[in-house]
């Protein structure tokens, strides 16, 4: 309650410092993401995707670090979604700069876990208000984005990743990163900051396919032929690492633990599958995992909530229509 009162008192003071970006609201942020072309009933970001399902096969290696039951050895089923960045649910798969994997573990009536992961391992900026400026610059064109990055040295690691990243020909051959850090809490209450990545177990070369649904068709066919598998690899921070700054990767020398494998054994079109209804808010966490204070992580939850409210209400009022492919 004390924190609450302070938060309320301090709110008007935020953003007064001269070099701080203008504070934006969740509504302004989602307005910017959805742009001028609104697709009623669809996510305002990562609108195009395909539902997947399968199970997490835990090897038990992480159970000393987190008391979350999913990390005991054994299998936990999930509903998930593979998607591409952008506001358009019919956009061409191969044009998107970012690909994503989201998972939902519905463990019990009191334990849920949602994860939303992207191909970049770090963010270009460390807070949501600067992120808003970054999206504005992206929308304004190459000159503006060049200018933006020159004024934001914290984007160095992101730019280095983008320079060497080559999009592959499949959702199955990408690495999906938590980007933000979380705390694992073990049975003794000990807290360990971690990031994680879903690492592919296959390599698929870049494709020059022209099909707008190239990635969705590829993954659907691939899953029919056999399971698609990722290794779930956790990186443990040490005292020198800042768990609240999503622009900085931790050194490669940090301890890594493979907790098991994510096995995808089914795909479904998103409006027919179980993933469309889910808000993959990364702050829906089970016992044994907690949020860090990373400003980007905190902001994701409120922006997702605004996007979810809009599309859910559109769906309730019957505004959702499946758009035709152009």
Partner 1 sequence: MTNTERFSLSMRLFHWGMAALVFAMLTAGLLMVASLDGWQLTVLTAHKVFGVIAVLLVSARLINRLRQAIPALPDDLSHWQKMSARVSHWLLYGLLFAMPVSGYLMQYFAARPIDVFGWFRLPAALNVDIYTYALFRELHSVFAIALICLIALHIGAALHHHIIRKDKVLKSML
Q: The dihedral of CA 15, 20, 22, 24: what is its sign?
A: negative
Closest approach of Cβ 119 to partner 1, in Å?
23
244: left (phi over 0), alpha (psi -120 to 50) or beta: alpha
Minimal distance, residue 306 CB to partner 1, in Å: 7
3 binds partner 1 (CB under 8 A): yes
Cα dihedral 46, 79, 181, 304 sign: positive
The window from 84-92, 101-109, 212-220, 259-267 that contacts partner 1 (CB under 8 A) reads 101-109
Query: Whose structure tokens read 């089914």?
Result: 266
Place of tokens 């009933």: 41
Q: What minimum distance in Å lies between the beta carbon of 230 and partner 1?
A: 24
* Closest to 201 measured CA to CA, from 225, 163, 165, 227: 227
Residue 219 lies near partner 1 (rule: CB under 8 A): no
In the bound state with partner 1, the residue whose beta carbon lies nearer, of 159 and 316, is 316
Q: Is residue 8 part of the contact set for partner 1 (CB under 8 A)?
A: yes
Tokens of 45: 């970001």
Nearer of residues 248 and 254 to partner 1, judged by Cβ: 248
Nearest 5 degrees, angle CA 182-CA 186-CA 189?
Answer: 95
Count CB neighbours of 252 within 10 A. Answer: 7
**Contact call for residues 84 and 46 (beta carbons, < 8 A):** yes
Structural Rg of the chain based on CA atoms: 20
Structure tokens at 91: 């956009």
User: Considering only residues 20, 22, 27, 190, which one is a binding residue for partner 1 as defined by CB under 8 A?
Assistant: 27
DSSP β-bridge partners for residue 84:
48, 99
Contact with partner 1 (CB under 8 A) among 13, 14, 214, 252: 14
| 77 CB neighbour count, 10 Å cutoff | 14
Between strands 182-185 and 176-177, the pairing is: unpaired
Q: Does 129 bind partner 1 (CB under 8 A)?
A: yes
Among 201, 207, 265, 315, binds partner 1 (CB under 8 A): 315
Q: Are residues 42 and 71 in contact, defined by beta-carbon separation less than 8 angstroms?
A: no
By C-beta, is 29 or 158 nearer to partner 1?
29
Residue 68 CA to residue 56 CA, distance in Å, equals 13
Name the residue nearer to partner 1 (CB basis): 1 or 37: 1
Distance CA 264, CA 273 (A): 14
Q: Decide: is 283 part of the binding site for partner 1 (CB under 8 A).
A: yes
- The residues assigned a catalytic role are 46
Which burial class, exposed, middle or buried, applies to 293 when counting CB atoms under 10 A from its CB (0-12, 13-18, 19+)? exposed
Number of residues that bind partner 1 (CB under 8 A): 47
The residues in 289-308 that bind partner 1, with binding defined as CB under 8 A, are: 291, 293, 295, 298-299, 301-303, 305-306, 308
Q: Considering the rule CB under 8 A, would residue 282 count as an interface residue with partner 1?
A: no
Q: Rule CB under 8 A: is residue 269 a binding residue for partner 1?
A: no
Provide, rounded to whole angstroms, the least separation between the CB of residue 218 and partner 1.
28
Q: Is residue 1 a contact point for partner 1 (CB under 8 A)?
A: yes
Residue selected from 26, 32, 75, 236 as contacting partner 1 according to rule CB under 8 A: 26
User: Does 93 sit near partner 1 (CB under 8 A)?
Assistant: no
Spatial contact of 111 and 286, defined as CB atoms under 8 Å apart: yes
Q: Does 49 bind partner 1 (CB under 8 A)?
A: no
Residue selected from 110, 164, 210, 253 as contacting partner 1 according to rule CB under 8 A: 110
**Chain contacts with partner 1 (rule: CB under 8 A):** 1, 3-4, 7-8, 10-11, 14, 23-27, 29, 106, 108-112, 128-129, 274, 276-279, 281, 283-284, 287, 291, 293, 295, 298-299, 301-303, 305-306, 308-309, 312-313, 315-316
């Amino acid at each position: 309650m004390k924190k609450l009162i302070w938060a309320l008192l301090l709110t008007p003071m935020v953003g007064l410092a001269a070099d701080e970006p203008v504070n934006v609201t969740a509504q302004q942020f989602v307005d910017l993401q959805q742009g001028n072309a609104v697709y009623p009933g669809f996510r305002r970001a990562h609108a195009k995707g395909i539902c997947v399902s399968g199970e997490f096969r835990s090897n038990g290696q992480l159970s000393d670090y987190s008391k979350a039951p999913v990390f005991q050895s054994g299998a936990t089923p999930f509903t998930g979604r593979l998607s591409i960045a952008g506001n358009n649910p019919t956009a061409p798969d191969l044009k998107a700069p970012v690909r994503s994997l989201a998972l939902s573990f519905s463990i019990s009536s009191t334990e849920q876990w949602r994860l939303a992961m992207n191909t970049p391992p770090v963010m270009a900026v460390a807070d949501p208000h600067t992120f808003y400026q970054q999206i504005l610059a992206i929308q304004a064109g190459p000159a503006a984005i060049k200018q933006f990055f020159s004024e934001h040295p914290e984007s160095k690691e992101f730019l280095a990743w983008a320079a060497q990243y080559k999009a592959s020909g499949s959702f199955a051959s990408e690495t999906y990163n938590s980007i933000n850090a979380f705390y694992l809490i073990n049975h003794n209450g000990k807290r360990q900051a971690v990031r994680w990545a879903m690492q592919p177990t296959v390599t698929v070369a870049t494709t020059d396919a022209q099909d707008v649904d190239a990635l969705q068709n590829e993954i659907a066919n691939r899953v029919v032929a056999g399971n698609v598998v990722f290794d779930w690899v956790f990186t443990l921070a040490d005292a020198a690492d800042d768990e609240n700054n999503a622009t900085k990767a931790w050194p490669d020398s940090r301890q890594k633990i493979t907790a098991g494998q994510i096995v995808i054994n089914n795909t479904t079109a998103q409006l027919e599958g179980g993933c469309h209804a889910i808000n993959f808010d990364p702050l829906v966490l089970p016992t044994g995992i907690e949020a860090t204070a990373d400003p980007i992580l905190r902001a994701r939850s409120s922006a997702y909530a605004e996007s979810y409210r809009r599309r859910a209400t559109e769906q309730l009022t019957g505004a959702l229509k499946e758009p035709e492919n152009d």
